[in-house]
Structure 1
Amino acid sequence: MTKKALITGLTGQDGSYLAELLLAKGYQVFGLVRRSSTSNLERITHLSGNVEIVSGDLLDQSSLMDVIAESQPDEIYNLASQSYVPLSWTQPALTAEYTALGVSRLLESIRRCKPDAKFYQASSSEVFGQPDESPQTERTAFRPRNPYGVAKAYAHWMTVNYRQKYNLYTCCGITYTHESPRRGTEFVFRKITHTAAQIKLGFTNELKLGNLDARRDWCYAKDAVYAMWLMLQQEQPDDYIIASGETHSVKELVECAFNCVGLNWQDYVSVDPAFYRPDEPVQLIGSINKIKTELGWQPQHSFEELVKSMVDYDLTKLSNGRA
């Protein structure tokens, strides 16, 4: 019998990779898209005809209930949210509506229309904010420091509460920063690989960045979505950190990206205090001991492989006349 899956956030980085993974495993895939959405559909054009697009909105409870009742999915992956942290400060209420309350509406729709469906909620390392320990584990206290992190913390605990109260199969993947060629250029990793390619091709000659010593736990989005799928294949639901388990500095990232194009990064990179983020006295780095031990998951792509794949993608795209 063919499994059916519903993905919210289909047009995003994770949604597109997850759809590819599920299709390869023989799933019938439904993708929730807002009818009035102006989202860039570029990431899913190659999936046209293979994914059934359904109209719905996390702000509209009845549309979610209709979609779930009609599609009857075995698995539901909620990857939709307002996910750009700086924007959450300028649009905190909208961030709360989609990223927090949207999850409440979705959980309630599942409870009413398909209580035997398995549900994955995309949680985030931003829930830890300024953690009191490093590396963080699934038991580390939540101390979010921005509206996005606050909204994700609400969504996380609502998911846990619906599991406990209604005995639903709901679980959260606390994902750390994960990247790919499909990442937006507003995020620092893609900004660096894209600009390195632009400089190599003569389209620009400068890259402005903030604190080069800042460190991040970066992994490949393809690895992350496999972990999401794996979590819903278990007998019992649980919550897991999805990360690389190691950190690299922005400087290391820059050096690696410019090495890929044969340039000395110091000739092109300047530091702009406007891009500095608040001090981070404790590193955000995820412990993957639990998911590695219990599910047998670990990243399959190295940091260097990830950087090279993104630089190569940007070189090809820019050489073909696409931004």
Structure 2
Amino acid sequence: MSRRALICGISGQDGAYLAQLLLRKGYEVWGSSRDAEMNSFRNLHTLNIFKDVRLVSLNTSDLGSTLGLLRQCQPDEVFSLAGQSSVGLSYEQPIETMQSIAQGTLNFLEAIRLSAREIRFYNAGSTECFGDTGDYVADEESPLRPRSPYAVAKASAFWTVRAYREAYGMHACTGILSNHESPLRPRRFVTRKIIHAVASLALGGNERLSLGNLNIERDWGWAPDYVDAIARMLAQDAPADYLIATGRSHTLTEFVATAYRLIDRDWQEFVTLDPELIRPTDIAHNKVNVSKAAVGLGWRPKYYMQDVIAAMLDAELGLLREERNS
């Protein structure tokens, strides 16, 4: 019999790509969102898998709702990908961020414990939890120094997963993911915002781009690569936490310059700096060691920053052409 997976947050970038991957592996896939009847599930339609998954509603801040869904679905694996996903927005919505991430993770773990079933659990972590790494390179055992409400919530979820794993012997793990992008990323995220501006310029527009701190350094990867690593984590005999990244960090200036260079333009002619876009406590450096994933999961990224930008730009150009022709 095929394994059954429940993806909490299936409408998002990672949820949609993970659903596509698991379906290809022969899984029966269930997916949840806060209101399945009102959600358009645009990403599932984009990937042509909307009809292949069973969609249900779930409020992860309600333990009773979570426990009820586990009893209804009876999954073999649960992937917790839901929750407020923007670092910037977490300063405006700190309570929602903490509840949707930290409380949501706790409710899933407690529901799995109470269900007394052998359910494998994946928690979506973030390299933002390390804070500013400075001159050193963080690994899975490095101290967490979160500097945003988002990172605080992710750090809380990370330790909750580890506590339940050690206390109850649960097959529960956290994937500590660096920034990962794709054409499914919403345009409110800075990477998609950049790509959209560049694509518009390439098609004859004259769009200006306003950005905040261009000196921040991040490790940008490809979302489909990362969901492959996520699936591999729950396929392991023993649960463990893994850092998932490319191992190569770049400044936002490099990201912007690379994108504009692909259309033979000088980014400095089109980009302005807006102090209002600088976060209260931004992270300057964020470098991580990905050797554990290479050894333990047999996983290595296929796409690096330049590949990610090229793929996103190609998709954005196609989308804009469709929009203008419709």
Both proteins in one fold, TM over 0.5: yes
Cα contact 2:212–2:273 (8 A) shared by 1: yes
Larger CA deviation: 55-64 vs 5-14: 55-64
Distance in 1 separating the partners of 2:268 and 2:276: 19
User: 2:24 corresponds to which residue?
Assistant: 24
Distance in 1 separating the partners of 2:240 and 2:184: 28
Distance in 1 separating the partners of 2:134 and 2:113: 35
User: 1:243 corresponds to which residue?
Assistant: 245
Cα contact 1:133–1:282 (8 A) shared by 2: no
User: 1:212 corresponds to which residue?
Assistant: 214
Which segments of 5 or more consecutive residues in structure 1 lack a partner in the other structure?
Answer: none
The amino acid that maps onto 2:66 is: L
Q: CA distance change for structure 1 residues 281 and 301 in 2, over 3 Å: closer, same or farther?
A: closer
Q: CA distance change for structure 1 residues 97 and 256 in 2, over 3 Å: closer, same or farther?
A: same
RMSD: 1.9
Candidates 260, 263, 283, aligned match of 1:261: 263
User: 2:107 corresponds to which residue?
Assistant: 105
Q: CA distance change for structure 1 residues 24 and 60 in 2, over 3 Å: closer, same or farther?
A: same
1:1-323 mapped onto 2 (5 Å cutoff): 1-35=1-35, 39-45=39-45, 46-131=48-133, 134-277=136-279, 283-321=285-323
Per-residue CA deviations over 1:118-177 (Å, capped at 9, x if unaligned) read: 100001112112346621101110111111111111111111111111111000000111
Cα contact 2:8–2:79 (8 A) shared by 1: yes
Distance in 1 separating the partners of 2:61 and 2:37: 13
- How many percent of aligned residue pairs carry the same amino acid? 39
The amino acid that maps onto 1:25 is: K
The amino acid that maps onto 1:175 is: L
The amino acid that maps onto 1:254 is: V
Larger CA deviation: 267-276 vs 166-175: 267-276
- Count of residues in Structure 1 that have an aligned counterpart in Structure 2: 323
Secondary structure of 1:76's counterpart equals strand
The amino acid that maps onto 1:155 is: A
Provide TM-score, normalisation by structure 2: 0.94
Cα contact 2:36–2:57 (8 A) shared by 1: no
Cα contact 2:246–2:301 (8 A) shared by 1: yes
Larger CA deviation: 126-135 vs 213-222: 126-135
Cα contact 2:133–2:287 (8 A) shared by 1: no
Cα contact 2:36–2:55 (8 A) shared by 1: no
Cα contact 2:41–2:50 (8 A) shared by 1: no
Distance in 2 separating the partners of 1:272 and 1:313: 27
